[in-house]
Protein backbone atom coordinates (compact mmCIF):
# COMPACT_ATOMS: atom_id res chain seq x y z
CA UNK A 1 0.00 0.00 0.00
CA UNK A 2 1.49 3.37 -0.96
CA UNK A 3 -0.40 5.51 1.48
CA UNK A 4 0.00 6.63 5.08
CA UNK A 5 -3.42 5.80 6.53
CA UNK A 6 -4.99 7.59 9.45
CA UNK A 7 -8.61 7.65 10.48
CA UNK A 8 -10.20 10.67 12.08
CA UNK A 9 -9.55 9.09 15.50
CA UNK A 10 -5.93 8.17 14.73
CA UNK A 11 -6.61 4.47 14.20
CA UNK A 12 -7.34 2.52 11.00
CA UNK A 13 -11.04 2.13 10.36
CA UNK A 14 -12.59 -1.20 9.62
CA UNK A 15 -14.75 -1.71 6.56
CA UNK A 16 -18.35 -0.76 7.12
CA UNK A 17 -19.75 -3.04 4.43
CA UNK A 18 -21.33 -2.29 1.05
CA UNK A 19 -22.26 1.32 0.35
CA UNK A 20 -25.82 2.28 -0.37
CA UNK A 21 -24.68 4.97 -2.81
CA UNK A 22 -21.49 5.19 -4.89
CA UNK A 23 -18.77 7.65 -3.93
CA UNK A 24 -19.20 10.65 -6.22
CA UNK A 25 -15.83 11.87 -7.53
CA UNK A 26 -14.79 15.04 -9.36
CA UNK A 27 -11.52 14.60 -11.30
CA UNK A 28 -9.39 17.73 -11.72
CA UNK A 29 -6.20 17.82 -13.80
CA UNK A 30 -4.96 20.06 -16.60
CA UNK A 31 -3.88 17.06 -18.69
CA UNK A 32 -6.90 15.67 -20.52
CA UNK A 33 -5.23 12.32 -21.20
CA UNK A 34 -4.59 11.84 -17.47
CA UNK A 35 -8.20 12.71 -16.65
CA UNK A 36 -9.48 10.23 -19.21
CA UNK A 37 -7.21 7.53 -17.83
CA UNK A 38 -8.49 8.09 -14.30
CA UNK A 39 -12.09 8.01 -15.48
CA UNK A 40 -11.55 4.70 -17.27
CA UNK A 41 -9.91 3.17 -14.21
CA UNK A 42 -12.52 4.43 -11.76
CA UNK A 43 -15.39 3.41 -14.04
CA UNK A 44 -14.46 -0.20 -13.27
CA UNK A 45 -15.24 0.32 -9.59
CA UNK A 46 -18.89 -0.34 -8.73
CA UNK A 47 -18.82 1.85 -5.64
CA UNK A 48 -17.16 4.87 -7.29
CA UNK A 49 -18.81 7.21 -9.80
CA UNK A 50 -17.00 10.01 -11.65
CA UNK A 51 -19.61 12.77 -11.78
CA UNK A 52 -17.50 15.43 -13.50
CA UNK A 53 -14.11 16.70 -14.53
CA UNK A 54 -12.26 20.00 -14.69
CA UNK A 55 -9.08 21.17 -16.40
CA UNK A 56 -8.02 23.91 -13.97
CA UNK A 57 -8.60 25.19 -10.46
CA UNK A 58 -11.16 27.84 -11.39
CA UNK A 59 -13.31 25.32 -13.26
CA UNK A 60 -12.92 22.89 -10.36
CA UNK A 61 -14.49 25.36 -7.93
CA UNK A 62 -17.45 25.93 -10.25
CA UNK A 63 -17.96 22.20 -10.83
CA UNK A 64 -17.69 21.43 -7.12
CA UNK A 65 -20.34 24.04 -6.28
CA UNK A 66 -22.64 22.61 -8.94
CA UNK A 67 -22.05 18.87 -8.44
CA UNK A 68 -21.30 18.71 -4.68
CA UNK A 69 -19.04 15.64 -5.02
CA UNK A 70 -18.00 13.44 -2.12
CA UNK A 71 -14.36 13.43 -3.23
CA UNK A 72 -12.33 15.85 -5.34
CA UNK A 73 -9.24 14.24 -6.88
CA UNK A 74 -7.07 17.21 -7.84
CA UNK A 75 -3.63 18.15 -9.14
CA UNK A 76 -1.67 21.08 -7.66
CA UNK A 77 0.06 22.63 -10.67
CA UNK A 78 -2.73 23.94 -12.91
CA UNK A 79 -3.47 27.11 -14.91
CA UNK A 80 -5.82 29.93 -13.90
CA UNK A 81 -6.03 28.73 -10.31
CA UNK A 82 -3.75 26.28 -8.54
CA UNK A 83 -4.97 23.20 -6.74
CA UNK A 84 -4.09 24.78 -3.38
CA UNK A 85 -6.16 27.89 -4.12
CA UNK A 86 -8.99 25.76 -5.46
CA UNK A 87 -8.87 23.57 -2.35
CA UNK A 88 -9.57 26.56 -0.09
CA UNK A 89 -12.41 27.78 -2.32
CA UNK A 90 -13.98 24.33 -2.67
CA UNK A 91 -14.14 23.93 1.10
CA UNK A 92 -16.28 27.07 1.12
CA UNK A 93 -18.68 26.20 -1.71
CA UNK A 94 -18.87 22.44 -1.01
CA UNK A 95 -17.93 21.94 2.68
CA UNK A 96 -18.77 18.23 2.68
CA UNK A 97 -16.37 17.48 -0.20
CA UNK A 98 -13.09 15.83 0.78
CA UNK A 99 -10.07 16.70 -1.30
CA UNK A 100 -7.23 14.41 -2.32
CA UNK A 101 -4.23 16.02 -3.99
CA UNK A 102 -2.86 13.73 -6.69
CA UNK A 103 0.33 15.33 -7.95
CA UNK A 104 3.93 14.89 -9.05
CA UNK A 105 5.06 17.53 -6.55
CA UNK A 106 7.06 16.11 -3.65
CA UNK A 107 7.82 19.57 -2.28
CA UNK A 108 7.27 19.91 1.46
CA UNK A 109 5.83 23.39 0.99
CA UNK A 110 3.09 22.04 -1.28
CA UNK A 111 2.25 19.33 1.24
CA UNK A 112 1.98 21.83 4.12
CA UNK A 113 -0.04 24.29 2.04
CA UNK A 114 -2.41 21.53 0.90
CA UNK A 115 -3.04 20.39 4.48
CA UNK A 116 -3.59 23.96 5.65
CA UNK A 117 -5.99 24.53 2.74
CA UNK A 118 -8.11 21.59 3.86
CA UNK A 119 -6.88 18.62 1.82
CA UNK A 120 -7.51 15.22 3.42
CA UNK A 121 -5.07 13.35 1.20
CA UNK A 122 -1.78 13.97 -0.58
CA UNK A 123 -0.72 11.27 -3.06
CA UNK A 124 2.05 11.24 -5.63
CA UNK A 125 1.21 10.18 -9.16
CA UNK A 126 3.67 7.32 -8.89
CA UNK A 127 1.04 5.22 -7.07
CA UNK A 128 -0.77 2.42 -8.87
CA UNK A 129 -4.29 2.72 -10.25
CA UNK A 130 -5.59 0.27 -7.64
CA UNK A 131 -4.23 2.49 -4.90
CA UNK A 132 -6.16 5.48 -6.22
CA UNK A 133 -9.51 3.76 -5.74
CA UNK A 134 -8.40 2.44 -2.34
CA UNK A 135 -7.44 5.97 -1.27
CA UNK A 136 -10.80 7.33 -2.42
CA UNK A 137 -12.65 4.77 -0.30
CA UNK A 138 -10.43 5.43 2.71
CA UNK A 139 -10.90 9.20 2.57
CA UNK A 140 -14.65 8.77 2.07
CA UNK A 141 -14.62 6.68 5.27
CA UNK A 142 -12.94 9.49 7.21
CA UNK A 143 -9.28 8.53 6.94
CA UNK A 144 -6.36 10.67 5.78
CA UNK A 145 -4.07 9.45 3.01
CA UNK A 146 -0.49 10.60 2.51
CA UNK A 147 2.11 8.91 0.32
CA UNK A 148 4.81 7.35 2.54
CA UNK A 149 7.64 9.57 1.30
CA UNK A 150 5.58 12.68 2.03
CA UNK A 151 4.44 11.37 5.41
CA UNK A 152 8.09 10.84 6.29
CA UNK A 153 8.90 14.42 5.36
CA UNK A 154 5.97 15.67 7.43
CA UNK A 155 7.08 13.73 10.51
CA UNK A 156 10.69 14.84 10.04
CA UNK A 157 9.63 18.47 9.86
CA UNK A 158 7.55 18.22 13.02
CA UNK A 159 10.43 16.55 14.87
CA UNK A 160 12.71 19.34 13.69
CA UNK A 161 10.20 21.97 14.82
CA UNK A 162 9.97 20.41 18.28
CA UNK A 163 13.75 20.20 18.55
CA UNK A 164 14.20 23.85 17.56
CA UNK A 165 11.52 24.85 20.05
CA UNK A 166 13.20 22.86 22.84
CA UNK A 167 16.52 24.51 22.04
CA UNK A 168 14.94 27.94 22.45
CA UNK A 169 13.10 27.21 25.69
CA UNK A 170 15.96 28.66 27.76
CA UNK A 171 15.70 31.94 25.85
CA UNK A 172 12.93 34.36 26.93
CA UNK A 173 10.12 34.43 24.38
CA UNK A 174 10.26 37.56 22.22
CA UNK A 175 7.48 40.02 22.91
CA UNK A 176 4.87 40.40 20.19
CA UNK A 177 2.72 43.49 19.89
CA UNK A 178 -1.01 43.27 20.54
CA UNK A 179 -1.65 43.52 16.80
CA UNK A 180 0.87 40.78 16.04
CA UNK A 181 -0.84 38.54 18.58
CA UNK A 182 -4.19 39.23 16.89
CA UNK A 183 -2.71 38.28 13.53
CA UNK A 184 -1.10 35.15 14.97
CA UNK A 185 -4.40 33.99 16.47
CA UNK A 186 -6.09 34.33 13.09
CA UNK A 187 -3.22 32.57 11.33
CA UNK A 188 -3.70 29.72 13.81
CA UNK A 189 -7.32 29.30 12.73
CA UNK A 190 -6.15 28.69 9.16
CA UNK A 191 -7.18 32.07 7.76
CA UNK A 192 -5.21 33.42 4.80
CA UNK A 193 -3.83 36.96 4.56
CA UNK A 194 -6.83 38.25 2.64
CA UNK A 195 -9.32 37.01 5.23
CA UNK A 196 -7.18 38.31 8.09
CA UNK A 197 -7.09 41.73 6.44
CA UNK A 198 -10.89 41.78 6.22
CA UNK A 199 -11.28 40.62 9.81
CA UNK A 200 -8.95 43.29 11.21
CA UNK A 201 -9.90 46.03 8.72
CA UNK A 202 -6.34 46.45 7.52
CA UNK A 203 -4.65 46.00 4.15
CA UNK A 204 -3.35 42.66 2.95
CA UNK A 205 0.16 44.16 2.69
CA UNK A 206 -0.06 45.17 6.35
CA UNK A 207 -0.96 41.59 7.25
CA UNK A 208 2.05 40.33 5.27
CA UNK A 209 4.29 42.74 7.16
CA UNK A 210 2.92 41.56 10.51
CA UNK A 211 3.45 37.91 9.59
CA UNK A 212 7.01 38.67 8.45
CA UNK A 213 7.72 40.52 11.72
CA UNK A 214 6.29 37.63 13.76
CA UNK A 215 8.52 35.11 11.98
CA UNK A 216 11.57 37.35 12.37
CA UNK A 217 10.94 37.91 16.09
CA UNK A 218 10.43 34.20 16.73
CA UNK A 219 13.29 33.26 14.37
CA UNK A 220 11.02 30.87 12.49
CA UNK A 221 10.54 30.08 8.82
CA UNK A 222 6.86 29.33 8.30
CA UNK A 223 3.38 30.18 9.56
CA UNK A 224 2.96 26.61 10.79
CA UNK A 225 6.11 26.88 12.92
CA UNK A 226 4.89 30.19 14.36
CA UNK A 227 1.62 28.66 15.55
CA UNK A 228 3.28 25.57 17.07
CA UNK A 229 5.92 27.70 18.79
CA UNK A 230 3.34 30.15 20.15
CA UNK A 231 1.24 27.34 21.61
CA UNK A 232 4.22 25.61 23.23
CA UNK A 233 5.51 28.85 24.73
CA UNK A 234 2.03 29.76 26.04
CA UNK A 235 2.07 32.91 23.91
CA UNK A 236 -1.12 31.65 22.34
CA UNK A 237 -3.62 29.00 23.38
CA UNK A 238 -6.11 27.64 20.82
CA UNK A 239 -9.28 26.13 22.23
Same domain, 201 and 149: no
Same domain, 145 and 203: no
Name the residue among 69, 141, 129 with its Cα closest to residue 102.
Answer: 129
Full residue range of the structural domain in which residue 113 is found: 4-8+17-153
Q: Is residue 167 part of a domain?
A: no
Q: Are residues 27 and 133 in the same domain?
A: yes
pLDDT the model gives residue 49:
94
| CB < 8 Å & 24+ apart, contacts of 154-163 | 154/108, 154/111, 154/112, 157/108, 157/112, 161/224, 161/225, 161/228, 161/229
Q: What is the pLDDT of residue 79?
A: 82
CB 74 within 8 A of CB 49: no
- Residue 158 inside a domain? The answer is no
Is 77 part of any domain?
yes
Are 38 and 135 in the same domain? yes
In tens digits, the chain (239 residues) has pLDDT values of 443 443 333 333 334 445 678 999 999 999 999 999 999 999 999 899 999 999 999 999 999 999 999 999 999 988 888 888 999 899 999 999 999 999 888 777 788 788 888 888 888 888 888 889 989 998 898 887 887 777 666 666 666 655 655 555 555 556 889 899 889 888 877 678 888 999 999 999 999 999 999 988 888 877 777 777 777 766 655 44
User: In this structure, what CATH number is given to the domain that contains residue 117?
Assistant: 3.40.50.2300
Instruction: Output the pTM of the full model.
Output: 0.58
Q: Could you tell me if residue 238 is inside a domain?
A: no
Domain endpoint, select from 91, 118, 153: 153
In a domain, 103, yes or no: yes
CATH number reported for the structural domain that contains residue 181 in this entry: 1.10.10.10
Considering the domain architecture, whether residues 24 and 140 belong to the same structural domain is answered as yes
| 164 assigned to some structural domain | no
Do 108 and 211 belong together in one domain? no
118 and 43 in a common domain: yes
Same domain, 57 and 138: yes
71 and 131 in a common domain: yes
- At residue 66, the pLDDT reads 94
142 and 28 both lie in a single domain: yes
Q: Report the alpha-carbon distance of residue 107 to residue 51 in Å, rounded.
A: 30
Among the three residues 120, 153, 186, which one is the final residue of a domain in this structure?
153
Domain boundary among 98, 123, 153: 153
Identify the pLDDT of residue 11: 36
Which helix (H) or strand (E) segment is 4 a member of? strand 4-6
pLDDT computed for residue 239 by the predictor:
45
Quote the number of domains for the chain.
Answer: 2
| pLDDT in the model for residue 28 | 94
In a domain, 239, yes or no: no
Residue 129 lies in a domain: yes
Burial of residue 95 (CB within 10 Å: 0-12, 13-18, 19+) is: exposed
Pair 24, 102 in one domain: yes
Residues 52 and 145 in one domain: yes
Amino acid sequence: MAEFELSGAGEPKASVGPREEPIRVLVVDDHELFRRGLEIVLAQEEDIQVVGEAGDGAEAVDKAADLLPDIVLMDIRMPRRSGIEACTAIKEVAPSAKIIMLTISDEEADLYDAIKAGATGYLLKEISTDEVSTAIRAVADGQSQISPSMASKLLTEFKSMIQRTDERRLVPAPRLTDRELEVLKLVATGMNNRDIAKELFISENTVKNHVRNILEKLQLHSRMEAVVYAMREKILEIR
